[in-house]
């Protein structure tokens, strides 16, 4: 009887644990959390490693740029550490693209494009564990909203054709457009030298 009670008790405990796990499948990685198939909006990314800010302004794209804002791009610190050491993006890499609108086109320094306000947030994640069927195991997310004034709390992976396909076809290194980020392009596998300030000679052709 005692034995049986213990058995009942332990199966009860196991059941509760299983229930807790089943109803709340939180799988927290270090820099992102995917819960019920949705990516929770990452936080703190402005303190990650900043790699560049491409811009495809409307007035250079017949007023119809797909992403007319500045794209401020960040990579999580652990993946940067791995990239500068080995030249590859590890499992769990997350990149962030935070958008700001084109604000002023003049400054005391001259005419140009200057950031206005925050306008949107996107992310890519490389994970065989979560995205075994995506090309390169990269999934793409957008937290942006139509009004450009708010961002969503969670985002689902977008269809492969919507984002992944273009990155697969044209990005220089493992679905990331490293060709437009000198920090990644010249920092690949360079170790400490990738962190800046260690060389007298600038990397090839900084100006054209
Ligand atoms: C037509 C091609 C194309 C499509 C479609 C596309 N991207 Fe990109 N993406 C780019 C290019 C080019 C860059 C780098 C230059 C830039 O930001 O303009 C980039 C950069 C990024 C970056 C920064 C990291 C990196 O890989 O360089 C993120 C994050 C990103 N895109 C997310 C998305 C998401 C989310 C979608 C789908 C909604 C998407 N992209 C669709 C071409 C594309």
Among 177, 183, 184, 185, say which to mutate for ligand 1: greatest number of ligand atoms within 8 Å of CB: 177
Torsion sign (Cα): 140, 164, 74, 77:
positive
176 lines ligand 1 (CB under 6 A): yes
Report how far ligand 1's centroid is from the alpha carbon of 120 (Å): 13
Per the CB < 8 A criterion, the answer to whether 155 and 41 are in contact is: yes
Architecture of domain 25-192: 3-Layer(bba) Sandwich (3.50)
At 20 the pLDDT is 45
180 lines ligand 1 (CB under 6 A): yes
Q: What is the pTM of this model?
A: 0.87
> Could you read off the pLDDT tens digit of each residue along the chain, which spans 208 residues?
445 555 445 554 444 444 444 444 455 589 999 999 999 999 999 999 999 999 999 999 999 998 899 999 999 999 999 999 999 999 999 999 999 999 999 999 999 999 999 999 999 999 999 999 999 999 999 999 998 889 999 999 999 999 999 999 999 999 999 999 999 999 999 999 999 999 888 876 555 4
Q: Is 23 exposed, middle or buried (0-12, 13-18, 19+ CB in 10 A)?
A: exposed
> Domain boundaries in the chain?
25-192
Task: Please list, in sequence order, all residues whose beta carbon lies within 8 angstroms of the beta carbon of residue 24, skipping any fewer than 6 positions away.
Answer: none
Q: Which two tokens stand for residue 98?
A: 């935070």
At 199 the pLDDT is 84
Report how far ligand 1's centroid is from the alpha carbon of 15 (Å): 44
177 lines ligand 1 (CB under 6 A): yes
The whole-angstrom separation of Cα 83 and Cα 188 is 6
């Amino acid at each position: 009887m005692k034995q049986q009670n213990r058995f009942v008790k332990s199966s009860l405990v196991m059941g509760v644990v299983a229930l807790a796990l089943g109803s709340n499948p939180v799988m927290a990685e270090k820099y992102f959390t995917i819960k019920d198939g949705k990516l929770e909006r990452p936080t703190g990314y402005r303190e990650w490693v900043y790699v560049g800010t491409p811009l495809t302004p409307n007035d250079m794209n017949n007023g119809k740029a797909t992403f007319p804002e500045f794209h401020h791009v960040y990579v999580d610190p652990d993946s940067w550490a791995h990239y500068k050491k080995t030249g590859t993006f590890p499992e769990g890499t997350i990149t962030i693209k935070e958008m700001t609108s084109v604000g002023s086109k003049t400054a005391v320094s001259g005419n140009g494009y200057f950031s206005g306000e925050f306008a949107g947030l996107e992310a890519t994640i490389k994970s065989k564990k979560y995205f075994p069927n995506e090309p390169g195991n990269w999934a793409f997310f957008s937290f942006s909203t139509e009004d450009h004034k708010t961002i969503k709390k969670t985002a689902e992976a977008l269809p492969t054709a919507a984002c992944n396909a273009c990155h697969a076809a044209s990005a220089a290194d493992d679905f990331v457009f490293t060709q437009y980020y000198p920090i990644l392009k010249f920092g690949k596998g360079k170790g400490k030298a990738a962190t800046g300030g260690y060389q007298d000679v600038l990397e090839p052709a900084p100006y054209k």
